Amino acid sequence: METYRTATPKYTILMSRLFLEIAFMFFWLGCFLIRFPFAQKNKKNKVVEDQKTTKEKGLLGLTLLGMMLLPLMYVFTPWLDFANYTLPGFLNLLGIALILPTLWLFYRSHKDLGRNWSASLELREEHTLITEGVYKNIRHPMYTAIWLWVILQALMLQNYIAGLSGIVSFGLLYFLRVNEEEKMMEQQFGEAYIAYKKKTKRLIPNVF
């Protein structure tokens, strides 16, 4: 009896496309649950400096497409199936392993930024400069978390369109925004931000 031939190895089930899709959707929902209360609360905080240009709005729209609409389309319709790829299992596993650290950093950065947070380039009434918590060693921990998000999206949604659209759309937003954000902060906080810049890196503590 060659029963071993019909037995499905456990890791095949675990790493199946469906499992990865479901796990990713839980991650994705987790990000929403983290952000939603902050977005609600901060609506009350008046914006005093608004740099939400047409470029900013376009970039935000692009991330909506790349990090939300295309992943949803991949998970819930067969329309993108022609662009599927399959990664080695250890890369899928790496994606899964990134879920908890990413949710943690996403939550911490919202929590530490508190009432100063906005999805766009804005300064709020009584805006304070945050330099503690996850902001102690890096200036953009929320962007670090979102970089991790789009990397795990590519590792878990194995599709050239829905997997890579996060990296492309957020990458564009990040590189076209980060200098302007720092310039805005420098205008607002002057020497304090310059000193903060000197003792921190952008995304990875002590490295980059």
31, 59, 98, 121: which one binds ligand SAH (CB under 6 A): 121
Q: Which is nearer to ligand SAH, 79 or 111 (CB)?
A: 111
Is residue 116 a contact point for ligand SAH (CB under 6 A)? yes
Give the 3-state DSSP-derived string for the chain, with helices as H, strands as E and coil as C: CCHHHCCCCHHHHHCCHHHHHHHHHHHHHHHHHHHHHHHHHHCCCCEEEECCCHHHHHHHHHHHHHHHHHHHHHHHCCCCHHHECCCCHHHHHHHHHHHHHHHHHHHHHHHHHHHHCCCCCEEECCCCCCCCHHHCCECCHHHHHHHHHHHHHHHHCCECCCCCHHHHHHHHHHHHHHHHHHHHHHHHHCHHHHHHHHCCECCCCCCC
Q: Does 109 bind ligand SAH (CB under 6 A)?
A: yes
Indicate the residue among 73 and 184 with the shorter CB distance to ligand SAH: 184
CB closer to ligand SAH out of 63 and 159: 63
Task: Output the smallest distance, CB 126 to ligand SAH, in A.
Answer: 11
Which residues contact ligand SAH (rule: CB under 6 A)? 109, 113, 116-118, 121-123, 129-130, 135, 140-143, 181, 185
